[in-house]
Structure 1
C-alpha cells in the first residue's frame, strides 16, 4: 500500500517520459534513429506506401464515423481522404489508388453484414505506467455480439504476418494495457486486419505478456532519460536516415572523394 501511495505521489511531481509504440520501435531499432526523429525533428519525405496507408486509415475513420452503409459511401470517403503525396508519376499514383480501392472492395464484401458494435475509431489514449506515460491511437475497438471487446489495427503493407508473430507483437500488448487503464476493460480479442490480403489475424494476451510489455516500455524510457543514444550500426544499410546520419558508414565511392 505504501509503495502504491509513493508511486502516486511521485507521479504528481514527475511526469516521466512520454512513450509510444512508434517511439519504442524507433529506439529499439536504433537509438540514434529515435534521436533524429523525436529529438531533432528529422522526418522523411512522403512516399507511396505511407500515403496509401494514411489514405486507407482516414477512409475507414471517415466511413465508420459517418456510419456509412454502402460501398458507394466507402468510395466517397476514399476519394476525399486520398493523400496524393510522394508519388513519382501519374501512373504510379493511379496504380496505388487502384490498389487501395481493391483493398476497400474486399473489406466491404467481408464486413458489410458485421453485427459487431464499433465503440471507438482512431481513439487516442494516454495512461501512466509505473514512472512514465504511454500514449497512442487505437484504430478501432469493437464489441462483438458475444460481448467481447476486440481491438483492431489496420495494416496496409504487403506482408501477411503469421500467428506466431501476431501472438508476440508488442503493439497489441500495449493497446491491451491502455484499454484496461483508460477504458476500463480487458480486450478478449486483439486483431490485425491485413487489408492487402483481406485477412484478420487475432490473438489474446496473458498477464505475463502485459507485464513484460510494460517493462519493455519502462526500460526504453529509462534509456532515453539517460540519453543513451548509441547507434546500432548493424541497421545502417537498410536505414532510411543513412544519408543524413553522421554515424552511417560512408560508401567506398564517397570515401575516395573525401
Structure 2
C-alpha cells in the first residue's frame, strides 16, 4: 500500500486510519515495531505531535502497544473491536493550542475587569488544588474551577461556556491516556505553581502578565507531554520506510 500525504482535517485521525489500514493489509505484522515517530512524521508529511496523538489513539483502540524503553509495537488482534470514543474530538495538542489562543486573552481580560470578589473562588480553587497535590489525588475538578473562574472574572458571560466547552472537549480518551502515561507528582506541582503565577497577575491587575502566565502554563503542559512521550520510547533511530515494511517483516521472520 503506497504512502499518502494526509490532509489537515482531524489530522491525527487520518494518520491513525492510514496506519490501521497498513496493519490490516499486513504491511506491519502483529508484534513488529512501528517506524519511529520522527520517520512517520517525515513520511506522512505531518507534525510529530499529530503522530503522537494518532499513536495514542491506536493504543486506546488496542491496535498498538507502547513498550517503555522499546517503542511502539503492533498489538495482537483482539476478538472484539475496541471503539474509540475520541474519534470526533480534536487531538490534545490541537486542543492545547486553541486554549493558548483563547485563554491567554481571557486571562488578560480578567486581570483588567476582575473585582475583589471575583478572585475569591479563583484563590479557593488554587488552595483546593494545593491540598489535592499534597494528597497525591486527582486535581481535575479544582483545575477546571480555576480556569472557569477566570472566565467569569472577565464579566463577559459569553466566555464562560467557551472555556467550559474547551475544557470538557479536551478531556477525552486520548488526553486520559496521555495523563496515564505521563502524569506525576512533579507535574502536578508544576501546574500548581503555574496557577499561582496566573493568580498573582490577576491580583496585580496586570493584563500583560496574566496573558503571559496563562500561555506559559499551557505551553509547559504541551512541552511536558512531548518530552515524556519521547522518554517513554527508546532513542529513535532511522527505520525502514512504510512501503518497505512488509519486506522487512519477511526478513525478520526468517
The answer to which structure, 1 or 2, has the higher relative contact order (CA under 8 A, 6+ apart) is 2
Which structure has greater helix proportion? 2
Q: TM-score, normalised by structure 1?
A: 0.23
Which structure has greater strand proportion? 1
Q: TM-score, normalised by structure 2?
A: 0.24
